[in-house]
Amino acid sequence: MQTSDGFLNRRPVQQQQLVAERPDRMEEACGVFAVLAAEQPVANLAYFGLYALQHRGQESAGIAVFNQDKVLLHKDMGLVSQVFDQDVLALMSGDLSIGHNRYSTTGSSRVCNAQPVVLMTRLGAFALAHNGNLVNAKELRVLVDDGKTEFTSTTDSELIAFAVQQAVNGGLDWRSGIEAALKLCQGAFSLVIGTPAGLFAIRDGYGIRPLVFGFLGEQGLGHWVVSSETCGLEIIGARYVDDVQPGELVHFELGSAEPFRKRWSDEPNRLCVFEMIYFARPDSRFFGESLYSYRQRIGRTLAKESAVDADLVIGVPDSGIPAAIGFSQESGIPYADGLIKNRYVGRTFIQPTQAMREAGIRVKLNPLPDVLSGKRIIVIDDSIVRGTTSGKLVVALRDAGATEVHMRISSPPVTHPCFYGIDTDTQDQLIASRLTLEEIKNHLKVDSLAYLSKEGMVEAAKAESGNFCSACFDRNYPIPMDQELLSSKLTLEPSGSTNR
Ligand code: SF4
């Protein structure tokens, strides 16, 4: 436990993280969650909210609780259920909690980089949790470093917190101090900030990462909940009210029936389309429907775009399954569960030895020969990033008796890295940036391969969703970046070649 006026940590840091086998996936940055409610177990509610958002980050978890003039903070490496237990939560009473699940995109995976960030100001302590990634972190670090600034982490989130601290210490109140700090930040940021004056929820001008809010208990009671996704509201019985809109600052005060809402930035909406395709939970609702429905629809579109004769459609669990069901519905080819996923494999586990790998050990996915043997299979996955696991999967399906393997991908080819809070490799590690469709098909040793078209991906979304960020498919980065940052990941393209 760490408090704003004294520090002690109840648990030893889990230093001995095991070697992680890097999954062949784009990986989510973080989940944020906050509860503002009098006489409620706000830490326990944050625990359950973070539990629902665990898919957004599994490296560390933290909760800060406001108790009169103190901020109680507990954070550590590991899953929410590993970092917190009832004894810890029982010590964290108060009326405002700020929670965070982390997966590192900026800053290494260490407990000092876990969030929330808690800092002191002349108006009291505040706690900040961030999902996203700044593209001007280097410049912001220079701006907030007044020579006395004591950086304790290597994250861009701490820089946002220092910007808030300096604005408030410079004489501004919480609302205008936060707004002043936001104007120094460029990039993707969905933020929850707990202060003595209430709870703030903010999205960057483009709305790259999602953020929603709802109420707890009776409407009008003034008990508010903010979450990265609607599944975080539902797990604690909160009712969805609205999205925090792109470029919006929402200020919730305890007991206030309506929050204060202000548009602080006016950029075009560019929600990350990968949130819809893969990152967010399928039961979370975007634009009035569950992502399960959207993902089924892109499966239907994929079936129309790249039909093939086969006996069975299977999905790569879990994220490929709704699209596989949609593909099956559209094509009339039966759907079956052909792959079983070990649900207990976390982000960190011991790498199988070379001998184990050669023996075909399958840590995460195991095919069902009873289902697959003698069948021509269409296998649906949400994306191919490096292509490392897709090839192994094809081998496993053939070993299980599949006579043909046709791979269909429910997103366009990932050709460019992300700078907005998703962990991607440099461009040369992305298989679709190096190889043609035919070369990837041969590399994966599949009988046929097709991706969803970009038009199909966008058309499947509801009209009111507006435009998306789809830069990892088309290089159309919505937020301007300096050449140095671009070049850090764009290793295939000549320097100076940018869209913006
Ligand atoms: S570059 Fe790709 S992963 Fe990153 S925000 Fe844009 S669509 Fe999402």
**What's the pLDDT score for residue 495?**
45
**What's the pLDDT score for residue 497?**
42
Closest to 30 in 3D by CA, of 145, 113, 112: 113
Q: What contacts 24+ positions apart, CB below 8 Å, involve 494-500?
A: 499/475
Measure the CA–CA gap between 473 and 188, rounded to whole angstroms: 18
pTM greater than the 0.95 cutoff: no
Catalytic residues, which ones? 30
- 218: tokens are 């009776």
**What's the pLDDT score for residue 23?**
57
Closest to 58 in 3D by CA, of 96, 32, 28: 28
Closest to 149 in 3D by CA, of 134, 161, 139: 161
Q: For each of the chain's 500 residues, which pLDDT tens digit applies?
A: 544 443 333 343 343 344 445 556 676 679 999 999 999 999 999 999 999 999 999 889 999 999 988 999 999 999 999 999 999 999 999 999 999 998 865 556 678 888 999 999 999 999 999 999 999 999 999 999 988 888 888 889 999 999 999 999 999 999 999 999 999 999 999 999 999 999 999 999 999 999 999 999 988 899 999 999 999 999 999 999 999 999 999 999 998 999 999 999 999 999 999 999 999 999 999 999 999 999 999 999 999 999 999 999 999 998 899 999 999 999 999 999 999 987 666 545 555 566 665 555 566 788 999 999 999 999 999 999 888 888 889 999 999 999 999 999 999 999 999 999 887 778 888 999 999 999 999 999 999 999 999 989 988 887 556 689 999 999 999 998 888 787 777 766 654 443 33
Q: How far is CA 259 from CA 13, 42, 248, 264, in A?
A: 38, 19, 12, 15
| Domains of the chain and any CATH numbers | 2-269 (3.60.20.10), 290-475 (3.40.50.2020)
Closest to 101 in 3D by CA, of 59, 66, 132, 134: 59
- 90: tokens are 């029982």
Separation of 274 CA from ligand 1 center, angstroms?
6
Separation of 265 CA from ligand 1 center, angstroms?
20
Given the DSSP bridges, would you call strands 339-341 and 365-367 parallel, antiparallel or unpaired? antiparallel
Measure the CA–CA gap between 230 and 245, rounded to whole angstroms: 14
With the most atoms of ligand 1 within 8 angstroms of its CB, the residue from 134, 452, 470 to mutate is 470
**What's the pLDDT score for residue 216?**
96
With the most atoms of ligand 1 within 8 angstroms of its CB, the residue from 30, 105, 269, 274 to mutate is 274
**What's the pLDDT score for residue 318?**
86
Q: What is the dihedral of CA 97, 101, 106, 110, to 10 degrees?
A: 100
279 lines ligand 1 (CB under 6 A): no
274 lines ligand 1 (CB under 6 A): yes
Separation of 475 CA from ligand 1 center, angstroms?
10
CA-273 nearest atom, ligand 1: 7
Measure the CA–CA gap between 74 and 114, rounded to whole angstroms: 10
Amino acid (1-letter code) at residue 401: G
**What's the pLDDT score for residue 345?**
61
**What's the pLDDT score for residue 284?**
97
471 lines ligand 1 (CB under 6 A): yes
With the most atoms of ligand 1 within 8 angstroms of its CB, the residue from 27, 469, 476, 479 to mutate is 469
Separation of 461 CA from ligand 1 center, angstroms?
16
